[in-house]
Amino acid sequence: MAAVRMNGTIAARRACPTAAERGPETALHSIVSMLRECALEAGGSFAGTGIGCTGPVDPETGIIGNVDLLPGWSGFALTSRLAGELNVPVAMENDADAAALSEASVDHSQRLIYLTVGTGIGAGLVFDGQLYRGAGGSHPELGHMTIDASGPLCYCGATGCWEVLASGPAMEEWARASACPEDRLEVPFSARKICELATTGHPFAAKVVHREARYLGIGIANLITAFCPNRIALGGGVMESSNLFLPEIMRTVSRSCGLVPFERTVIAKSGLGSETALLGAARVFQHRFPELWKA
Ligand SMILES: [Zn+2]
């Protein structure tokens, strides 16, 4: 977490493990004390707080849903409890939406999609400066659109979701299952290591990267066909190596998007890097309470 000035710079930051198993009350206590430390260090007080949280979360009520990484937290009213402790307004969004708002603060494309590929695949859509929401404020789960109906079973219940084919763990699992003994990749296989080896011309790593790029390309082509965005910003751990994937992504897009002006969509790595999540949380607050944001 961080104290973010209204000019978009970070004034102070703190981090600690979530320790989800100790429950939300313990986490709330840590969050409040760290936020107070950040305020002291920044030499001021908070106008409010923003949160980007792994989904599902309800942005309207600020209640945590059935989040895989937060077992036992379902139903916890994080924003109202935090607002009560700190006596300031608090807003929460899905973390991909928070990252999309962060990207939109530096990239004023009219139709922007922020795509994160790491342990999962998520996307946030900002159209004309506003976060796109589904019915009842819901967050579209684009990482779970079907890419190959004959593909592996996903934890969401469907088969062949984008996430189960092209997330970092999916890439690692395919590499592990497909490697021959002579594929001298080190164990455990990691997406980062595979990408490093691919840049040195390692044939098996290059094969894994090609498969990954192909699935990334199919999903991105679907996004372009569905939304015709001005820009798709690529974030998340796997996209640290986006230069390895982009040529095949572009080939797939040009083959697949014949009915839309795909050449108008800029596909490029996000420029915000590791600060995206911290700044995104601040932008969540700004987006919800623009009248309180005095840059
Ligand atoms: Zn799924």
Would you kindly state where each structural domain of the chain is located, as residue ranges?
2-97+275-292, 100-272
Q: Are strands 10-13 and 130-131 parallel, antiparallel or unpaired?
A: unpaired
Model confidence pLDDT, tens digit, residues 182-214: 776 555 689 999 999 999 998 999 999 999 999
Determine the distance separating the centroid of ligand 1 and the alpha carbon of 144, expressed in angstroms: 4
Q: What pLDDT does 153 receive?
A: 96
- Mean pLDDT, the chain, integer: 93
- CATH fold match for the domains 2-97+275-292 and 100-272: yes
**Gyration radius (Cα) of the chain, Å:** 20
Nearest CA-CA partner of 79 in 69, 64, 95, 68:
64
Query: What average pLDDT does the segment 96-105 reach?
Result: 94
CATH architecture of 100-272: 2-Layer Sandwich (3.30)
Of 97-106, 221-230, 272-281, the range with the lowest mean pLDDT is 272-281
Q: What pLDDT does 251 receive?
A: 98
Q: What pLDDT does 45 receive?
A: 83
Q: Which fold has domain 2-97+275-292?
A: Nucleotidyltransferase; domain 5 (3.30.420)
Q: What pLDDT does 187 receive?
A: 54
Determine the distance separating the centroid of ligand 1 and the alpha carbon of 117, expressed in angstroms: 14
Query: What average pLDDT does the segment 5-22 reach?
Result: 89
Determine the distance separating the centroid of ligand 1 and the alpha carbon of 141, expressed in angstroms: 9
Distance CA 103, CA 280 (A): 8
Determine the distance separating the centroid of ligand 1 and the alpha carbon of 154, expressed in angstroms: 5
Query: What average pLDDT does the segment 50-69 reach?
Result: 91
Model confidence pLDDT, tens digit, residues 235-257: 999 999 999 999 999 999 999 99
Determine the distance separating the centroid of ligand 1 and the alpha carbon of 25, expressed in angstroms: 30
Q: Cα 22 to chain center, whole Å? A: 25
Q: With 90 as the cut, is the pLDDT of residue 291 above it?
A: yes
Determine the distance separating the centroid of ligand 1 and the alpha carbon of 33, expressed in angstroms: 36
Determine the distance separating the centroid of ligand 1 and the alpha carbon of 216, expressed in angstroms: 15
- How far are the Cα atoms of 22, 63, 76 from residue 73, in angstroms, in the given order? 10, 9, 6
**Torsion 226-232-236-240 (CA) sign:** positive
Of 155-159, 232-236, 274-278, the range with the lowest mean pLDDT is 274-278
Distance CA 63, CA 66 (A): 10
Q: What pLDDT does 88 receive?
A: 95
Determine the distance separating the centroid of ligand 1 and the alpha carbon of 275, expressed in angstroms: 27
Q: With 70 as the cut, is the pLDDT of residue 262 above it?
A: yes
Query: Which residues neighbour 86 within 8 Å (Cβ) at sequence distance 6 or greater?
Result: 32, 35, 46, 49
Determine the distance separating the centroid of ligand 1 and the alpha carbon of 121, expressed in angstroms: 10
Asked whether the bond before 89 is cis by omega within 30 degrees of 0, the reply is no
Determine the distance separating the centroid of ligand 1 and the alpha carbon of 160, expressed in angstroms: 7
Determine the distance separating the centroid of ligand 1 and the alpha carbon of 86, expressed in angstroms: 37
Determine the distance separating the centroid of ligand 1 and the alpha carbon of 198, expressed in angstroms: 28
Q: What pLDDT does 186 receive?
A: 59
